[in-house]
Amino acid sequence: MNHSSKFLWKFLGLIAANSLIVASFNAWIDPYNVMAKTVSKVNELKPKSGNDARRFKAINVIRIKPKTIFLGNSRADIGLDPEHSALSNNAPAYNLALPSGDIYEAMRYLQHVLANQPNLKQVVIGVDLIAFKAKTNEGELDPEQAARLGTTQYMPHLPSLLFSTDTFTSSLSTLAANLSQEPVKESYLSNGRLIRFNPPSMSMEEVFEYHLKTSYFNDGYQNFQISPRQMDAFRTIVETCNQRGIDLEVFISPAHVTQWEAIQTAGLWSTFENWKRDLVKITPVWDFSGYNSITAEPIAEGMQNYLESSHYVKEIGDLVLNRLLDYQVESVPKDFGALMTADNVEPHLLKVRVGRNKWANQSPDVVQLVRQWSKD
């Protein structure tokens, strides 16, 4: 063997050794929670997992084969706990909600679960007006995501993750965050639920203002129209569960009253009500929106129920699940959650309107605050 050949083999061996080191390190740190291995002060916090939730959740479904899943957007992603006691008969449960997820995505991920777990027993889906918005390229997934959904093999997905330099960078960041124990913005648990923390440098009022401006007034509520395709996807979810005998619970998320006031301020209240009418034509829906003892929590430091206008905390999610699953209902405030059907939707909507007027009369400063945020 000549000198050039020896050099080439040494070079290739070095590359192979380095690749194995990278893959081993990535498997050990597991920044995206696909290996289900957690070591205290090493990889307990997963600050980079939110960057790739769509991929690692699709992979985890293949491995876990859950009997209960949660669907929805980041509200359900943060608020619904798969470890809730009411789910013990249909365990394991997995939070399959996606950040900024729409209903079409929820439908595709449900189909992915069924390809891997035909014995799925229960689906809980949080629906929100914003998830039904008509938008450019709706109903389209990127090629990699589309290829991943529906697959039933776990192992083929791992090499692309373990040998990835992007994963290696995320692993380094994950290890650094755990060693330093400094506060992180967010981190996923192995059951799919997202833990999120508010920036400590911002007051609660500033957090509310920032979120409503950036996510809704300057984006989500602009040029808003209900998408027929999203509504068709919702109908498919309901029909699929009915045909397979899967227990389906649908609920409208309990966002803060400022979120509903933002809908009012954006001129979308009629759209909001018509959306509810359309939903109950398809299936009964538990409505946790509106004005009640939970959603009307005053904006203040140390709030108990909310991270900001949109996202409720796990403890409120527990109350939602208690109501949906008829579990320890005595712990749920009587005004929190109403079953909305095609037969009672009109009196229900009237009750919400009355509640809004009463709240607005009692909280004119908050009404004015939301209006000001919409203009800035």
- Tens-place pLDDT, residues 322-349: 999 999 999 999 999 999 999 999 999 9
Cα(203)–Cα(226) distance, integer angstroms: 34
The better pLDDT of the pair 210, 49 is held by 210
Own/partner pairs for 215-220, CB < 8 Å, 24+ apart?
215/310, 216/130, 216/259, 216/262, 216/266, 217/262, 217/266, 217/373, 217/374, 220/130, 220/133
- pLDDT reported for residue 136: 64
Overall average pLDDT of the 247-276 stretch: 97
- pLDDT reported for residue 129: 96
Strand partners, 70: 95, 124
Confidence of residue 9 (pLDDT cuts 50, 70, 90): low
Q: pTM of the full predicted structure?
A: 0.89
Is-contact 320 327, C-beta < 8 A?
no
| pLDDT > 70? residue 258 | yes
Confidence of residue 36 (pLDDT cuts 50, 70, 90): low
- pLDDT reported for residue 55: 84
- pLDDT reported for residue 120: 98
Overall average pLDDT of the 283-304 stretch: 96
- pLDDT reported for residue 208: 94
Is-contact 110 123, C-beta < 8 A?
yes
What percent of the chain clears pLDDT 90, i.e. is strictly above it? Answer: 63
- Domain of residue 299 covers 3-375
**Using CB atoms within 10 A of its CB, is residue 123 exposed (0-12), middle (13-18) or buried (19+)?**
buried
Overall average pLDDT of the 45-51 stretch: 72
User: Distance of alpha carbon 72 from its chain centroid, rounded?
Assistant: 5
| pLDDT > 70? residue 2 | no
| pLDDT > 70? residue 8 | no
Quickly count: other Cβ atoms within 10 Å of residue 110's Cβ.
24
- Dump pLDDT digits (tens) for 140-177: 677 777 777 777 765 556 677 777 778 888 888 778 87
| pLDDT > 70? residue 89 | yes
Is-contact 99 153, C-beta < 8 A?
no
Confidence of residue 42 (pLDDT cuts 50, 70, 90): confident
Confidence of residue 218 (pLDDT cuts 50, 70, 90): confident
Q: How many domains does the chain have?
A: 1
